[in-house]
Amino acid sequence: MILTLTPNPSLDRTIELPGRLERGEVQRAAAASAHPGGKGVNIVRALTASGTAALALLPGDPGDDVVLALGREEIPHLSLPIGAPLRSNVAITEPDGTTTKVNEPGPALSAAQLASLLKLAVEKSDGAAWLVLAGSLPPGAPDDFYARVIAAVRATYGPDSPRIAVDSSGAPLAASVAASPDLLKPNAEELAELTGIGDGPSLEADPFMAASAAASLVERGVGAVLATLGSRGAVLVTADGSWLAKGPVIAAKSTVGAGDSALAGYLLASQRGDTPAECLQQAVAHGAAAASLPGTLVPSLKQTHPADVAVTALTPVKEK
C-alpha cells in the first residue's frame, strides 16, 4: 500500500484554448475539464489507474466537490471534515503545451485540525510501504508540518516505518530535509532554491550540476533525490550512485501533474522491486505519458513506454 497525505487538496479545472493565451482579451475555450487534485491526490489517481494499491488522505467535508469527485472517479481516499470548502485551481493550456496556472490559497486549518490530520497519517501508516507527503500546506500551517509527520511516524513504528517521500516546495520542503526523508522529489527550480546551486534553467540544461545539487542533499541525510528536469528528463541521486534519464520527444498537451505522475511511476517501480535506475526509467516514462495527455488526466501503466527512456549512469555505481 502506498499512502499519500495532501493537506491542501483542490479541484483542478483545466481550460484548453485553441490558440495562444491573449492577456486582457476575451477568448473561447476549446474544451474544459475538472478533476480532484493536489499532488498526493494526483499520485493516488495515477497509481490506481496502474492497478497499484494506494490511499489518499486529505481534509475535506463529505459533500465537498473534491471529495465527491474522488468518489465518482473511484479513487481510494479518506477525508477529515473541516467545515470549510476546499480550493479550486485553474490551469489554462495552449496548443503547444504551454500551461498557465492560478492556484487558490485554500482554507486555513486550525491547530487541532492539523493535529488530527497528522494523527490520521500516523494511524494509516501501519503496514504501508510508502508514505508520500505532498503539495503545499494550508495557510497558517507551520513550515515544519511535514517534518513533524515524519518524526511522529518514525517514533510510532521505528524500523517498521514506511519509507517516506516529500514532494513540496519552499519552506515546507526545506524544513523536511532535516527530518531525513527517504526520498525528495523537487523540480529544477525547487532544487536550485533548496541548495543554492544554480537556478532552474541552468539545472535543467546541465544534469551534472543538477546531480551535484541533489548529492548535496543526500550528504545532509536525505535517502534519495528524484529531480525532474522538465522536457530534459530527470536525475536520481542516492548514496550508491547517480543516473540521468531522458524520455522520448513528445507533443506535450499539458504539463499539469506530470511531476506527480513521475513520482507515481517511481513508487510503482519501487513496489515491483526494480533497481534505482529502473525506478528512474519508469518515473520519466510516467511523466512523459502524463504530459502527452490533455488537462489533468493521469496515465495508466500500459500508457507508459519505459523502453523508450534512455538511462545513463552519471557516477560509478557503488558495489554492495
Residues recognised as catalytic: 260
How does 129-165 read in b/e, with b if 16+ C-beta sit within 10 Å? ebbbbbbbbbeebeebbbbbbbeebbeeeeeebbbbb
The residue whose grid cell reads 557516477 is: 315
Q: What's the CA gap between 120 and 116, in Å, rounded?
A: 6
The number of C-alpha atoms within 13 Å of 292 and in the hemisphere containing its C-beta is 16
What would you measure as the largest C-alpha separation in the chain, in angstroms? 61
Based on the number of CB atoms within 10 Å of its own CB, is 76 exposed (0-12), middle (13-18) or buried (19 or more)?
middle
The residue whose grid cell reads 497525505 is: 5
Whether residue 48 contacts residue 56, with contact meaning beta carbons closer than 8 Å, is answered with: no
CA nearest to 134, candidates 270, 50, 13, 42? 42
Q: Which three cell numbers stand for residue 276?
A: 534505482
